[in-house]
Amino acid sequence: MSAESTIALVTDSTASLTQEDRERLEISVVNLYVILNGEQRPENEIDDYASFYKAVLESPQLTTTSQPSIGDFMEVYGPLLDAGKEVVSLHLSGAISGTCEAARQAADQLEADGRGGERIHVVDSRTTAGGLALCSLAAANAIKEGKDVDGVVKQIEDSREELDTLIMVDTLEYLRKGGRIGGAQAWIGGALKIKPLITLEETVEPVDKVRTVTRAMQRLKDFASEKAASGQEITWTAQHIQAPELAAELAAHCREVFQCEGAFLDEMSTVLGCHAGPGLVAIGTVPTDAVGSKF
């Protein structure tokens, strides 16, 4: 992204971007919160994931999450507006979180205060995690190419339309407890001995259910192989929640069939982990021409 760019990019912590990713994309991040044993912490303060999930399992209380406050957004937006920037603020699906709404309220407040809030453009990605990261990559590339705000938003929307994800969760119990079960609600009850395969189309949608992790992993690999067979150049991501070996296995297959490195290969944020649970493995793909470039 050129130093002369007049557009700044903001996303939220559920995109699960590493510090290296943030610097590479020149992107500001607003944190969501985890509430464990009554204590609220921004998720960027959680770095020992294994200890965190152990504490979640041992906690007598349900671990919950919270969207950023209006003040959190204003803290990030303020310096960008003061620097004369237009802001594209891209966030997780409004169907599962109030994060986009908090961002819009912050923009309204900054506009009312005469601080330039009308220059903030909030975009609902209708996804999260690797999907949100890929949409952020599309936005960063559009800014780098010198597109205006409308052009940046269009590139986000184009990438989102082309985005496909497939997610294996170890159990639906976390999604059920957190109220994010979506269309997979019908599987609750008979789902104790299955490995659900879901996607996120604004909300959680069921795709299939298989009996074993081995079969679920094969479905993820088949998904990648089918995308590779399309003949399009593909940008991809493989992510996980406390399942690094399975994610590495999936990534190795993706490297083989797509003949390139993944754009994002990280553990998902703890906010998502609270709702989906350990054992999750996910793949996301988008045609490279929809995001502008691989990295």
Q: What is the CATH number of the domain that holds 155?
A: 3.40.50.10170
Check whether residue 74 and residue 22 sit in a common domain: yes
Give pLDDT, residue 277: 84
- On whether both 148 and 168 belong to a single domain, the answer is no
Residue 167 lies in a domain: yes
Residues 145 and 187 in one domain: no
Among 139, 132, 117, 184, smallest CA distance to 7 is for: 139
Dihedral sign, CA of 172, 178, 180, 181?
positive
Do 218 and 183 lie in a common domain? yes
Q: Are residues 73 and 154 in the same domain?
A: yes
Task: Give the per-residue pLDDT at 58.
Answer: 86
The answer to whether the Cα torsion of 60, 66, 69, 75 is positive or negative is positive
| Domain shared by 236 and 144, yes or no | no
In a domain, 2, yes or no: no
Are residues 99 and 182 located together in one domain of the fold?
A: no
- The model carries a pTM of 0.92
- Assigned domain for 63 exists: yes
**pLDDT-flagged residues of the chain (< 50):** 1-2, 183-184
pLDDT of residue 171: 76
Tell me what pLDDT residue 246 has.
97
Are residues 153 and 168 both part of a single domain? Answer: no
Please tell me whether residue 121 adopts helix, strand or coil conformation.
strand
One domain for residues 203 and 57: no
Task: Beginning with the edge strand found earlier in the chain, give each strand of the sheet holding 86-91 in spatial order.
Answer: 27-30, 7-12, 86-91, 120-124
Taking each helix axis as running N to C, give the angle between helix 244-258 and helix 213-228, from 0 to 180 degrees, rounded to the nearest 10.
Answer: 20
The predicted structure's pLDDT at residue 1? 41
* 23 inside domain: yes
Angstrom distance (rounded) from CA 108 to CA 40: 26
By residue range, what is the domain housing residue 270?
162-291
The whole-number pLDDT of residue 15 equals 97
Could you tell me where the DSSP H helices lie in the chain?
A: 19-25, 49-58, 70-82, 99-112, 129-144, 149-162, 173-178, 213-228, 244-258, 270-276, 288-291
